[in-house]
Structure 1
């Protein structure tokens, strides 16, 4: 049957410069195999399916698939799907949108021209063991002495985040994807004084997920959320900042982080690039 469909670009005000997500708006009745097959066919980092919620507390339920399987949570699909849901004529029950997904309920707020989600709590944190760091650093072509810190920042996806000495060094990394294997690896490096013309851009971020068919993700909400929880908890980042991601892929992703003292909000622009129907 024909179902409404949107392909939304997330984390960039410039069309096709962020991270696209495929959103099936009327997904009720599609079985798991068909969802997985469609995600493989789109071959995007994520494809999502909007469904009726199973709890009165939520506005909708979201299922998120990569080409390699289902995720309990992901950031840019959350924002892109919320954008598509609103654009389809829906309104939240309360002040904020409430998304039901594999990690539970996730709040999304309208923040001017941007949407932002509340970073989920980390289900695993703390330092990554030295042997794992050594293995990952070797796959990245990075000397162990260059790794300033390495932390687990798991909030659904099994992210480990390695901090390097600078954003420029992050951009220089050329990973061996086969050697990375099933590791979900995020890199973060600071820009002292920000980027020229964009002083609010304090960090460069990259994400490598070859194990689920996404060698490098252009712009990654869940990873940036985990990094923000880590850096804010350790007192290493200001209350608000912007992270750049996608630079190495020719994108211009900008992830806006705001810690309001209660929640850490992860936000960015979202815009529909393709709209129509899909036969599923």
Structure 2
């Protein structure tokens, strides 16, 4: 029997963000057992908290989609930190929690009711080949000229970020999930001044995963790096995501020199035990 939590990440109102399942004290479970349980929960991701192997870390986490393990993902990082705190974990003297995951050590800080992680470096960050852009335009069912810019933004998930002219164009997308193949596409466009947020984001997965993610920390981290470097986004902004899915995701971005901080509100929604 293991302590079990479900948390809602990146929404001010519970059940309007992205759900995460968290299994505590999972050191006795094999990777195969973790993967099977993650497949059963059928959520975008399920995480397993373990004792750290790095002396600098407060805890270690393994992150699974329904079909694979990820070295890093954004909303599982914030959700795992929240679950760890609710189970008795404490923030260090500098207000930072240190998470160990497949990508290494990730700093998580708590301030003003929000948790925020410092994004790990992108492992692939380069322009996208024209043949891939043609394929992406076909998948999104838009004209190639509507893709204003694109970049690989790999930080665990294998994101390709594409930029459209407006949030309205982003919200109007109706791609056929059967055409995605192995692509992981993140789309961003600027909002009107009266919208209350600065950018609208959507995330589409191919393969066996959930085909549109409600709110995505890893994608927003990559988009923030890219848009800061290209002068598209200010050092601080708020992105909305999940609108088409009936969610109200709000991702708070802060660019502090070379550091990208990705934050949002996290709510504990379910607490109990699971038999594994």
Q: TM-score, normalised by structure 1?
A: 0.96
Give 2:4's aligned residue: 5
Give 1:212 deviation, angstroms: 3.7
CA distance in 2, matches of 1:73, 1:31: 19
Q: Which runs of 5+ in 2 are unaligned?
A: none
Give 1:71 deviation, angstroms: 0.5
Give 2:31's aligned residue: 32
Give 1:25 deviation, angstroms: 1.4
Alignment of 1:65-80 (within 5 A): 65-80=64-79
CA distance in 2, matches of 1:5, 1:269: 20
Give 1:179 deviation, angstroms: 1.2
CA distance in 2, matches of 1:9, 1:38: 19
Tell whether the 8 Å contact from 2:25 to 2:51 is kept in structure 1 after alignment. Answer: no
CA distance in 2, matches of 1:160, 1:212: 18
Give 1:259 deviation, angstroms: 1.3
Give 1:253's aligned residue: 249
Classify the secondary structure of the residue corresponding to 1:91.
coil
- How many equivalent pairs are there? 275
Give 1:179's aligned residue: 179
When residues 93 and 111 of structure 1 are mapped into structure 2, their CA distance, relative to the original with a 3 A threshold, is closer
CA deviation profile, 1:113-170 (whole Å, cap 9, x unmatched) = 0000001111111211110011111011011011110111111111001111101110
CA deviation profile, 1:21-71 (whole Å, cap 9, x unmatched) = 000012111111110000000000000000000110111111000001100
When residues 81 and 153 of structure 1 are mapped into structure 2, their CA distance, relative to the original with a 3 A threshold, is same
1:240 partnered with 2:236 = yes
CA distance in 2, matches of 1:80, 1:53: 17
1:221 partnered with 2:217 = yes
Classify the secondary structure of the residue corresponding to 1:214.
coil
CA distance in 2, matches of 1:13, 1:229: 24
When residues 253 and 272 of structure 1 are mapped into structure 2, their CA distance, relative to the original with a 3 A threshold, is same
Give 1:143's aligned residue: 143
Give 1:120's aligned residue: 120
Q: TM-score, normalised by structure 2?
A: 0.97
